Chains A and B, each alone.
Chain A
Amino acid sequence: MQHAQQGEEDAYAELLVLLAAAARSYVRSRLGTTVPWIDDVVQETLIAVHHARHTFDARRPFAPWFYAIARHRFVDAVRREQRVRRHELVDHAWPEFSCGPDDAACRIDMDAVRRALASLPPRQREVVESIKLRDEGVREIAARLDMTITSVKVTAHRGYRTLRRLLGVDLREE
């Protein structure tokens, strides 16, 4: 970690690989089972380690420092998973067009969608466009916009909800 604090890329990469394994093992041991979001926690733990690396004091042992971060990221992830499960928000929330048989109607709907998209707050618009128009993955978007995966999902959900409200009868949910 001291090498990482000094900016040594290779030593830091090596450490992160070890920490990823340690974080995965920690989450598994806490849950007693494997869940699909283990890698989310591992990833968030590594990012937290990265942002907190200046707080590591070389005179103190490394393990309590690392596991304190891992524990809090794990607890946060569990809470978020519980919240997400309560307000399940997935791609299905994206409103689908109720196109008529002729293409012209679809074009009109598309214009309305574009206008509605343009009226979304910038971050919501960016997330919705990235997912639906540019077909980017949630993980990629999270990395690019420096957001957590859950934040991306929540932002997308809010964007869909606003779009549904703006487009009203022209759209229906799948």
Chain B
Amino acid sequence: MKSEHSDLSLTIATLARSATPVTPLEAASVRLARWAITSTALAVLSIAILGVRSDVAAQMMNGWFLTRATVTLAIVVSAAIVTFFMSVPGVEPSRLVSAVPFAACLVWAVMLVGTLAATQSPVDILLQVTPHPTCVLLIAATAIMPGGILVRMLRHAAPLQARSTSGFTGLASFALGALGTQFVCTNDAAAHHLLWHFTPVVVFALASVAVGSLLFGWPHRQQRHSE
């Protein structure tokens, strides 16, 4: 039977033999910028295809619309930064930086709940919200391409925390979907946004955590690199 050390020597010899030249990965910031540009273009294209709301020019001067858009954009940017840096060993973001996307989500939720609570009968309003699964589909449709590109770019790096990477990837992509949907959906009510924009993003992000091992898990990366 071989000893542990001879196994290790064999591993070292095998790895050394397969040391083909590699092109060093570009800096996370460069890849982030590239993703941001591509995703913005894709989101704009999606909005154009899905049909931009007719009052968009007026909404660009509307504080409520702009605040929601800014907070959603903050989630997209912060989650994308975290996930890009998380996928490169040695430059992982600190816990404080990793908490920023969660904080932005919290701000989004508080903003919507606060606006709803300021009405006279928030619970009634919430119960009377008409189901709007179209918004969920719009969010998913807008998020799918940027999300796919993001997953591909991150898999090309070396994400060590599969679930976290996947969760932030999902959050960045679906928050981008929600941001795009805001330019299509004409319903600006807080209750509608809470149930049909915010909640789907959170659910999709949690679902992304669940499939993290599948997307970024170690055995899959091993298989991918060996192909």
Contacts and interface: CB of A to CB of B under 8 A. Distances in A.
Given A47-B11, A51-B158, A9 B4 contact: no
Contact of A13 (B13, B22, B89): B13
B63 interface: no
Nearest to A139: B7
Interface string B1-40: 1101101101111111111111111010000000000000
Interface string A70-81: 001000100000
A76 B218 contact: yes
A165 interface: no
A128 B140 CA distance: 42
Contacts of B10: 143
A1 B222 CA distance: 20
The A interface, classified by DSSP as helix, strand, loop or mixed, is: helix
A43 B11 contact: yes
B131 interface: no
Given A47-B222, A68-B90, A12 B19 contact: yes
A43 B7 contact: yes
24 contacts: A4-B19, A5-B22, A9-B16, A9-B17, A12-B19, A43-B8, A46-B8, A48-B158, A51-B221, A51-B225, A52-B158, A54-B22, A55-B25, A60-B91, A65-B89, A66-B89, A66-B90, A69-B160, A137-B2, A139-B2, A143-B10, A146-B223, A147-B219, A148-B222
A69 B222 CA distance: 14
A6 B21 contact: yes
Nearest to B7: A139
